[in-house]
């Protein structure tokens, strides 16, 4: 009985160790041509952050500033196509200039997030943005709709990255 007080502490230590165990490194695109990557990307599907839940007509736009950072604008409608408009303006920067596929993203000072371009097609029309933690992912395209076979191919790539694709949700897109 006198050792029962150690059990909760032991459980916390075991759970902490599991949570901090490193995951397999997440592969990124071999090389990202930054000027070609800039511009508008429609969010086709994602594992959403708490801020993105219920997003409709989600679009992320990138513009390289003279200082080399990336001005980002993320716009969407909350809850419905006519829901309140939301806009976020995180600042990005390239962390790996050899591939340009590893970025940092800062939404609110001092909080920074990992932003990995795991895949971009050769025409720069479809991309997958991921994180090593495999907690969030974004499938994006230059158009608000993509063919079902393209979506399935991208979803298969997300699965091969180690994500639970049952958590991936389509983002409603409806444009005039």
Q: What is the per-residue pLDDT across 92-134, written as a single tens digit (0 to 9) for each?
A: 999 999 999 999 998 776 778 899 999 999 999 999 999 999 9
Q: 3-state class of 164 per DSSP?
A: coil
**Residue 90 belongs to what domain range?**
22-170
Question: For 11-42, what is the HEC assignment?
Answer: HHHHHHHHHHCCCCCCCCCCCCCHHHHCEEEE
Residue 123 falls within a domain, yes or no?
yes
Tell the residue number behind the tokens 């596929």, with chain if given.
101
Residue 57 falls within a domain, yes or no?
yes
Cis omega (within 30 of 0) on the bond before 32? no
Domain count along the chain: 1
Q: How far is CA 99 from CA 33, 116, 133, 144, 166, in A?
A: 9, 11, 20, 27, 30
Predicted pLDDT of residue 23 = 64
Spatial contact of 59 and 67, defined as CB atoms under 8 Å apart: no
Residue bearing the bigger pLDDT, 176 or 57: 57
Q: What is the mean pLDDT of the chain?
A: 88
Q: How far is CA 81 from CA 41, 130, 143, 175, 176, in A?
A: 18, 26, 17, 9, 11
Residue 4 falls within a domain, yes or no?
no
Spatial contact of 158 and 168, defined as CB atoms under 8 Å apart: yes
Predicted pLDDT of residue 109 = 66
The two three-digit tokens of residue 96, written as one number: 């790996």
Residue 69 falls within a domain, yes or no?
yes
Instruction: Look up the CATH number of the domain holding residue 155.
Output: 2.40.128.20
Q: Is the pLDDT of residue 3 over 70?
A: no
9-15: average pLDDT:
35
Residue 63 falls within a domain, yes or no?
yes
Residue 5 falls within a domain, yes or no?
no
The two three-digit tokens of residue 47, written as one number: 């594992």
Residue 93 falls within a domain, yes or no?
yes
Residue 53 falls within a domain, yes or no?
yes
Beta strands in the chain (DSSP E): 39-47, 55-64, 70-78, 85-88, 91-94, 102-108, 111-120, 126-130, 137-141, 169-170
**Which pLDDT band holds residue 24 (cuts at 50, 70, 90)?**
confident
């Amino acid at each position: 009985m006198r050792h029962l007080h150690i059990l909760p502490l032991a459980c916390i230590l075991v759970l902490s160790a599991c949570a901090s165990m490193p995951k397999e490194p997440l592969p990124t695109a071999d090389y990202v041509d930054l000027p070609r990557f800039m511009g508008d990307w429609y969010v086709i599907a994602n594992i959403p952050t708490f801020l993105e839940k219920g997003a409709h007509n989600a679009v992320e736009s990138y513009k390289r500033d003279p200082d080399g950072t990336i001005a980002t604008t993320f716009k969407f409608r909350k809850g419905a196509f006519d829901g309140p408009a939301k806009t976020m303006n995180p600042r990005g920067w390239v962390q790996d200039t050899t591939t340009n596929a590893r970025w940092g993203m800062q939404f609110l000072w001092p909080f920074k997030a990992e932003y990995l371009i795991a895949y971009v097609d050769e025409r720069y029309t479809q991309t997958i943005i991921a994180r090593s933690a495999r907690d969030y992912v974004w499938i994006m395209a230059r158009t608000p709709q993509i063919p079902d076979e393209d979506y399935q191919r991208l979803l298969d790539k997300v699965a091969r990255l180690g994500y639970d694709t049952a958590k991936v949700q389509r983002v409603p897109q409806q444009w005039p």
